[in-house]
């Protein structure tokens, strides 16, 4: 299947076919999130590709190079450790646009690997994007890729790569939040609440509080005093967590992640 190239007059319209290199869990989540929103996908062969190719909006290519040959817009979901070397082995052309979702990949090495195609970088949580609920980062800004990412969740475009790299640490934060949620669910279940109900209660609590943070114009410093009232149960919980250094421990853990995404370790 040959994907027709967009004419200059069509550059401002959303793309309809995206080539995907690397068809693991992330690619599956993104395909699910974009389902029914006007996109088709041409995917490279892999162990999971056969299952994905059963979808009406997915076509299976014979090789990575065939994906590159037949798509003008390409999403790289390759393993981070070998992704750049795989891209370097492929032949890209002028006028193509490549968006890397490979963790830790910086713009300059990506641009060198896929030249003369245009290079862009993204980061997203993955699983939440399957439900159109996960935030996506984009560097540098690009209208075409932003239109696609908007089908997967809120988009944060960056003009400064340093800020973009810092923001990519949220990928680890997103993953760790599942462990935090599971810890809370298991506590309620251990203390007599049915686990299914505990799961809903904890998840709905986080959703509700996130809605407050996104909706209120007041700062968190202005909001929290009204939540942790003197002598109340919230204050008791926060006091215990603070005594165990459980809250600031997140800062130290994120410092480790930040050093890694900046390539400092």
CATH number of domain containing 245: 1.10.3730.10
- Predicted pLDDT of residue 263: 87
- Which range is least confidently modeled, 11-20, 50-59, 161-170, 176-185? 11-20
Q: What is the pLDDT of residue 188?
A: 98
Closest CA to 172 of 251, 241, 110, 99: 251
Q: What is the pTM of this model?
A: 0.89
Digit-coded pLDDT (tens) for 11-50: 444 458 999 999 899 999 999 999 999 999 999 888 888 8
The reply to whether 3 falls in a domain is: no
pLDDT in tens, 68-112: 999 999 999 999 899 999 999 999 999 999 999 998 899 999 999
Q: Band of the pLDDT at 235, cuts 50, 70, 90?
A: very high
Residue among 41, 6, 15, 10 nearest 146 (CA): 15
Looking at the fold, whether 116 and 38 belong to one and the same domain comes out as yes
Whether 1 maps to a domain, the answer reads no
72 shares its domain with 51: yes
C-alpha distances out from residue 27 to 18, 200, 236, Å: 11, 27, 43
**Which among 162, 192, 207 is the end of a domain?**
162
* CA–CA distance, 179 with 142 (Å, rounded to integer): 34
Q: Which residue, of 109, 143, 162, is where some domain finishes?
A: 162
Interval 1-7 mean pLDDT: 37
Q: Does position 134 have pLDDT exceeding 80, yes or no?
A: yes
Q: Residue 21: inside a domain, yes or no?
A: yes
Flag whether 2 is in a domain.
no
Residues 200 and 69 in one domain: no
Please tell me whether residues 148 and 176 are part of one structural domain. no
- CA 233, 239, 244, 247 torsion-angle sign: positive
* 37 shares its domain with 54: yes
The last residue of a domain, from among 127, 162, 197:
162
Any domain includes 16: yes
The mean-pLDDT minimum among 12-16, 75-79, 131-135, 239-243 falls in 12-16
Specify the pLDDT at position 15: 52
| pLDDT at res. 214 | 95
CATH number of the domain encompassing residue 24 = 3.40.50.720
- Considering the domain architecture, whether residues 139 and 231 belong to the same structural domain is answered as no
- Tally of structural domains, the chain: 2
Whether 147 maps to a domain, the answer reads: yes
The chain-wide mean pLDDT, for the chain, equals 92
Confidence of residue 67 (pLDDT cuts 50, 70, 90): very high
pLDDT at 92 (0 to 100): 98
Q: Produce one character per residue of 179-207: b if its CB has 16 or more CB atoms within 10 Å, e if not.
A: eeeeebbeebeeeeeeeeebbeebeeeee
Strand partners of residue 90: none
Same domain, 142 and 205: no
Per-residue pLDDT at 12: 44
62 lies in the same domain as 131: yes
The per-residue pLDDT for range 180-220, each reduced to its tens digit, is 999 999 999 999 999 999 999 999 999 999 999 999 999 99
Q: How far is CA 26 from CA 59, 86, 246, in A?
A: 17, 17, 31
133 plus 17 within the same structural domain? yes
Mean pLDDT on 100-129: 96
Residue 199 and residue 137 share a domain: no
Does a structural domain hold residue 145?
yes
In a domain, 41, yes or no: yes
CA distance 49 to 72: 20
Residue 189 is part of which domain span?
A: 171-261
Is the domain of 156 the same as that of 182? no
Residues 84 and 137 occupy one common structural domain: yes
């Amino acid at each position: 299947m040959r994907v027709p190239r967009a004419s200059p007059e069509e550059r401002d319209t959303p793309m309809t076919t995206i080539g995907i290199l690397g068809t693991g869990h992330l690619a599956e989540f993104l395909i699910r999130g974009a389902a029914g929103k006007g996109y088709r996908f041409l995917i490279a062969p892999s162990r999971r590709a056969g299952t994905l190719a059963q979808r009406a909006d997915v076509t299976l290519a014979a090789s990575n190079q065939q994906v590159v040959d037949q798509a003008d817009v390409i999403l790289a979901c390759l393993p981070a450790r070998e992704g750049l070397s795989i891209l370097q082995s492929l032949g890209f052309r002028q006028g193509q646009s490549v968006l890397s979702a490979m963790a830790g990949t910086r713009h300059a090495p990506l641009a060198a690997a896929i030249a003369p195609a245009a290079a862009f970088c993204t980061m997203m949580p993955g699983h939440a994007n399957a439900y159109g609920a996960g935030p996506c980062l984009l560097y540098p800004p690009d209208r075409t890729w932003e239109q696609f990412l908007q089908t997967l969740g809120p988009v944060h475009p960056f003009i400064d790569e340093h800020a973009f790299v810092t923001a990519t640490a949220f990928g680890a934060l997103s993953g760790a939040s599942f462990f935090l949620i599971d810890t809370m669910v298991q506590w309620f279940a251990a203390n007599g609440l049915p686990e299914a109900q505990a799961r809903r209660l904890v998840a709905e609590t986080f959703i509700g509080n996130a809605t407050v943070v996104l909706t209120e114009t007041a700062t968190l410093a202005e909001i929290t005093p009204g939540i942790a009232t003197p002598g109340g149960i919230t204050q008791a919980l926060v006091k215990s967590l603070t005594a165990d250094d459980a809250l600031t421990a997140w800062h130290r853990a994120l410092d480790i992640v930040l050093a890694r995404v900046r390539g400092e370790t």
